[in-house]
Homo-oligomer: A and B are copies of this chain.
């Protein structure tokens, strides 16, 4: 029930259709937020059933093309969104990372594999940090809260890159020292 309110929140800014919502989220929250069409269209349908949004089908452009369903938030929608916004979040932050899930178990793995995976992460997050910094300007127009959130994104990225590089150093030093003979388990 989080996507539901994120969509409702975006509709506070302007009327949108599914495709544009995905584009918007990708562009603005793409770092920590990746969303799928399936999730969007299902949520839009349900929001409409509940009367929190209204839908009008419109042509894509003068030249035709697939028609789009433009959604606009209703008064009921705004009221429901306000209630949610002021309510205390019921859950803690959720962080799930397929890299970290592997990393924490690497005492059972080959340090060389660990180094390779770390390097992949460093490269990926360095590119991400560049993009985030480029975008900070654009986010300012949305107001204080959006700007602060984007700053959090940058700070997180910097912190994480720092940790990755430190971890890399430790793993490499430990590997060179040959501190622990790593034994491959049987492959079959």
Contacts and interface: CB of A to CB of B under 8 A. Distances in A.
Nearest to A99: B89
A9 B108 contact: yes
Contacts of A117: 88-89
Contacts of A186: 75, 78-79
B93 A109 contact: no
Interface stretch (A49-57, A58-66, A139-147): A139-147
A96 interface: yes
A149 to B, nearest CB: 5
A167 B153 CA distance: 13
B98 A86 contact: no
Interface stretch (A37-45, A129-137, A155-163): A155-163
Interface string A1-13: 0100110010010
**Chain A interface residue number, banded:** 35 or more
Contacts of A100: 93, 149, 152
Contacts of A83: 187
Given A79-B188, A95-B32, A104 B146 contact: yes
Q: Which 9 A-B pairs have the closest CB atoms?
A: A89-B98, A93-B97, A9-B105, A107-B143, A86-B113, A106-B145, A32-B95, A94-B96, A85-B109
18 contacts: A2-B96, A9-B108, A34-B92, A34-B94, A84-B102, A85-B102, A85-B105, A89-B102, A92-B124, A93-B99, A94-B95, A94-B97, A95-B95, A107-B142, A107-B144, A107-B145, A156-B160, A159-B159
Given A83-B187, A85-B105, A106-B145, 6 more contacts: A9-B104, A81-B108, A85-B102, A89-B102, A93-B97, A155-B162
